[in-house]
Amino acid sequence: MNHPMFWSLSLSRFARPLLLAALFLAPSLLLAQAADPGTGWLTVTPTSIPLTEEVVGTIQPTTVTTLSSKILGNVVEVLRREGEIVAAGDLLVRIDAKEIGNDLQGAQASLAEAQAAIAEVRSQITTAQSAKEAAESELHLAEVSYARIKDLFDKKSVTRQEYDQAANRLNQARSQVAQATSQIASLQARLAQIAARNEQARAGISKVSTLKDLAEVRAPFAGRVVARRVEPGALAAPGVPLMVLEDLGRIRFEAIVPERLLGFLHEGATMPVRIDALGPNPVSGRVVEIVPAGDPLSLTFTVRVALDDDPRLRTGLYARGFVAKGEEQVLLVPERAVERRGQLEGVWVRSGDRSIFRLVKTGRRHAGQVEILAGLTAGETIALTSAPR
């Protein structure tokens, strides 16, 4: 710098801090020069900005499922890897099901045999029922004939031999009817036994078919594979994890919130969330759950915030949420109005027809503007350029 006021930079390292403190405490001692009429000026006034407090957390899925096998067998094929997107019903892991296939063939053969036996017995029952009907018809004729012969025998009009023949024919007819009835009952009992075997065969087929379906592990919902825990050749067993799947449609931000901020939050409240890995622009979030039980040691609570679907979101990303606490009045000036000289910052303040360079202390940034914490008061006019001429 060639300005005369910067002779202080050549002072010893012991005197320089004293001079800087004096400049900060007494702005009127700072550099002054004539104001340029062409310079843009701004009168500083208090501005209302949202008063927020930052809370931190991570991006988490709403649903995470660990898939495992329900049968014992060797893994034949693993079709998906970490990071891949899957649809509901997609095949993920195939388990060896040769023995299950053999059991299925045996059960199907037993079912076919039982069905053939049922058809045969039903045919025999039909034949036996026809025979019974014929025997009943013969019995009716024998009863009529016996009644007529007995009446004649009582009148001494027929011989004993004719009477005995009519009685024998009646007994034979009765025996044939009883035999046909017994045969039908026996066939029906056999049919019931075969029907029971048939149902057992059907149940066996259903069970084996279910086990065969269980040999194919499929995605229960659309999502992303986040962990692959098995490789081909490994032994799959009930309860042993195969894959971890997360639901992509419901990603949320889980924040750790101090108890003093719970009064500013409620379900349905909006919360801007900034994810550093995705850039400086925050995304809109909505509070969907406030866990009622907090940590008694840290006095914090978990708050879950639903986020809009975004394919860039990944589980475990660090994120920051901003809890709105109201508004506050601050002094904001354009960032281009602040001049930086080494580690010092200052603005040119109008004083009559002159401009004075005054040291300031800056704070937060807000959309191209910077907050002035000290060195400037409301109502003062500053230059919009960092070096007015």
Query: What are the structural domains, with CATH classification, of the chain?
Result: 4-51+327-383 (2.40.420.20), 55-62+248-325 (2.40.30.170), 64-94+218-246 (2.40.50.100), 98-214 (1.10.287.2610)
> Of 7-11, 176-180, 238-242, where does mean pLDDT reach its minimum?
7-11
The residue among 177, 175, 195, 193 whose CA lies nearest residue 129 is: 177
Residue 331, beta-bridge partner list: 46, 372
Query: 23-61, pLDDT tens digit by residue?
Result: 444 443 344 444 444 458 888 888 888 788 889 999 988
Query: 274-326, pLDDT tens digit by residue?
Result: 998 888 888 889 999 999 888 888 889 999 999 887 778 888 899 999 998 88
Please name the residue that has the structure tokens 């034979």.
172
Strands 73-78 and 235-236: antiparallel
Q: Both tokens of residue 290?
A: 């406030």
- Looking at residue 36, what is its pLDDT? 47
50/103 Cα distance (integer angstroms): 70
For 33, the enclosing helix (H) or strand (E) is strand 32-34
Residue 7 C-beta-side C-alpha neighbours within 13 Å: 2
Mean pLDDT score of the chain, rounded to an integer?
80
pLDDT band at 210 (very low <50, low <70, confident <90, very high): low
Please name the residue that has the structure tokens 């012969």.
149
pTM higher than the cut 0.85: no
User: Cβ neighbours of residue 226 under 8 Å, at least 6 residues apart?
Assistant: 64, 82, 83, 244, 245, 246, 315
Q: By three-state DSSP, how is residue 308 classified?
A: coil
Q: Both tokens of residue 277?
A: 């890995």
Q: Both tokens of residue 164?
A: 């005995």
Please name the residue that has the structure tokens 């419901």.
250
C-beta of residue 219 within 8 angstroms of C-beta of residue 146 = no
- Looking at residue 149, what is its pLDDT? 83
- Report the amino acid identity of residue 168: N
Q: In what order do the strands lie in the sheet with 235-236?
A: 216-218, 91-95, 73-78, 235-236
Angle at 274 between CA 273 and CA 279, to 5 degrees: 145
229/243 Cα distance (integer angstroms): 5
Highest mean pLDDT among 115-124, 197-206, 329-338: 329-338
82/166 Cα distance (integer angstroms): 94
Residue 238, beta-bridge partner list: 69
- Looking at residue 3, what is its pLDDT? 39
- Looking at residue 125, what is its pLDDT? 85
C-beta of residue 388 within 8 angstroms of C-beta of residue 355 = yes
Give me the torsion for CA of 163, 165, 170, 172, rounded to 10°. 160
Q: By three-state DSSP, how is residue 171 classified?
A: helix
- Looking at residue 301, what is its pLDDT? 92
Q: By three-state DSSP, how is residue 44 classified?
A: coil
From residue 316, give the alpha-carbon distance in Å to each of 23, 60, 300: 48, 6, 20
- Looking at residue 9, what is its pLDDT? 36
Residue 113 C-beta-side C-alpha neighbours within 13 Å: 10
Q: What is the sign of the dihedral through the CA atoms of 190, 194, 197 and 203?
A: negative
